[in-house]
């Protein structure tokens, strides 16, 4: 069976400029989807078929932090994968090396010579990157988030204020704000609903 791997980047920035990751693992066949992105997320999926134990290498991402005005890097940790045969006995590595075409030439279908069980492995790689562009003066540090929301003027100010919170309960409101800003939509945004959602998530006292 294939091991599924998803690399996700959350934040705000020019996602269309991010190059897709290249993954190379000796002794394994790798299938990669095209990268997909929205206004606040970039994602790439892999399917890895291996005939023996292998290690998913670290993913490194370089980006420019607009807050500190400097270049930064972030990386995942290598992930060790153990493959077991259907009977729980690992096949000798020598046999796999003698017929590499069984793994490298064929897609992950019933034509594979060996069937593998993936036991208790959950693969996920999450990279969290935050790009925040502040075009207006930052509110005073002694003001609470609620006061900042009340004082926000216009949909763009609200959007920039709410996006870094990364809250699921605000996802629909963020989409409405984005439509108002970039698509000339006329969604009515109630600040009271935003404040109640934030309090419900225990983001503020």
Q: What is the pLDDT of residues 104-160, one digit of tens each?
A: 444 454 444 434 433 333 334 333 433 333 334 444 443 578 888 888 888 988 888
Res 44: pLDDT: 93
Q: Is the dihedral of CA 42, 159, 129, 195 positive or negative?
A: negative
Position 1 confidence tier, pLDDT thresholds 50, 70, 90: low
188, 197 Cβ separation under 8 angstroms: no
Q: What is the mean pLDDT of residues 65-90?
A: 78
- Round to whole Å and give the CA distance between 123 and 160: 32
pLDDT for 148: 87
Sign of CA dihedral 60, 61, 67, 68: positive
User: Which residues, including other chains, have CB under 8 Å from residue 60's CB and lie 6 or more apart?
Assistant: 73, 74, 75
pTM of the shown model: 0.40
Q: Once rounded to an integer, what is the mean pLDDT over residues 69-92? A: 76
Mean pLDDT on 33-62:
89
Cα 169 to Cα 76, 137, 189, 196, 200, distances in angstroms: 27, 27, 14, 10, 9
CA–centroid distance for 6 within its chain = 7
Backbone angles phi, psi at 81, to 5 degrees: -115, 130
170-179 average pLDDT score? 89
Q: Which residue has the tokens 């292998």?
A: 54
């Amino acid at each position: 069976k294939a091991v599924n791997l998803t690399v996700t980047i959350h934040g705000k920035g020019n996602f269309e400029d991010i190059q897709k990751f290249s993954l190379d693992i000796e002794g394994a066949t790798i299938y990669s989807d095209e990268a997909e992105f929205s206004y606040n997320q970039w994602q790439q999926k892999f399917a890895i078929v291996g005939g023996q134990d292998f290690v998913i290498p670290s993913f490194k991402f370089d980006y420019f932090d607009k807050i500190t005005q400097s270049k930064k890097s972030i990386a995942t940790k290598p992930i060790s994968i153990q493959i077991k045969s259907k009977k729980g006995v690992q096949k000798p590595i020598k046999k796999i090396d003698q017929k590499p075409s069984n793994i490298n030439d064929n897609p992950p279908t019933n034509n594979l010579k060996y069937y593998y069980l993936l036991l208790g492995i959950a693969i996920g790689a999450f990279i969290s990157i935050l790009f925040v562009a502040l075009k207006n003066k930052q509110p005073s540090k002694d003001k609470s988030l609620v006061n900042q929301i009340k004082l926000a003027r216009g949909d763009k100010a609200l959007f920039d204020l709410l996006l870094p919170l990364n809250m699921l309960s605000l996802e629909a409101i963020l989409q409405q704000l984005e439509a108002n800003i970039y698509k000339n939509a006329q969604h009515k945004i109630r600040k009271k609903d935003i404040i109640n959602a934030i309090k419900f998530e225990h983001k503020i006292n």
